[in-house]
Amino acid sequence: NAGVTQTPKFQVLKTGQSMTLQCAQDMNHEYMSWYRQDPGMGLRLIHYSVGAGITDQGEVPNGYNVSRSTTEDFPLRLLSAAPSQTSVYFCASRHTGAGGPKNEQFFGPGTRLTVL
């Protein structure tokens, strides 16, 4: 299993540009989420999804959109990038359904985004 994968690893954007951060998992996990990590702020939840077709807002959702059309993929879209969105973005997933060990969170390697 590849686990949780994220692309790209690094990205530089200009203010106002849009882009999509990709996240995929091959563990058939129901729950997926996006976090951003900033110095002194820790990890903060942006959006999450409890299953395909269902998404909801986390702690810091403004400026970001998500969709979940398949179990495997959970892309994060920046609509109009701002310097305040310079951060490291992590995607995570966990199993929440019937059977098997539940609720151990697995993280992707992260995307380092700089907005100029």
Partner 1 sequence: KQEVTQIPAALSVPEGENLVLNCSFTDSAIYNLQWFRQDPGKGLTSLLLIQSSQREQTSGRLNASLDKSSGRSTLYIAASQPGDSATYLCAVLSGNTGKLIFGQGTTLQVKP
Select from 15, 20, 105, 114 the one that contacts partner 1 (CB under 8 A): 105
Q: What are the backbone angles phi and psi of residue 94, rounded to the nearest 5°?
A: -155, 155
Single-letter amino acid, residue 57: Q
Stretch that binds partner 1, among 14-22, 67-75, 77-85, 108-116 (CB under 8 A): 108-116
User: Residue 51 burial by CB count (10 A; 0-12/13-18/19+): exposed, middle or buried?
Assistant: middle
Q: Smaller CB distance to partner 1: residue 38 or 83?
A: 38
Residue from 1, 14, 99, 103 binding partner 1 (CB under 8 A): 103
1-60: which residues touch partner 1 (CB under 8 A)? Answer: 33, 40, 42-43, 45, 48, 50, 58
How are strands ordered across the β-sheet holding 4-7? 4-7, 19-25, 76-78, 64-66
CB of 23 within 8 A of CB of 4? yes
Q: Is 97 in the site for partner 1 (CB under 8 A)?
A: no
The amino acid at 72: E
Residue closer to partner 1 by CB (options 50, 82) is 50
Binding site for partner 1 (CB under 8 A): 33, 40, 42-43, 45, 48, 50, 58, 90, 92, 103-110
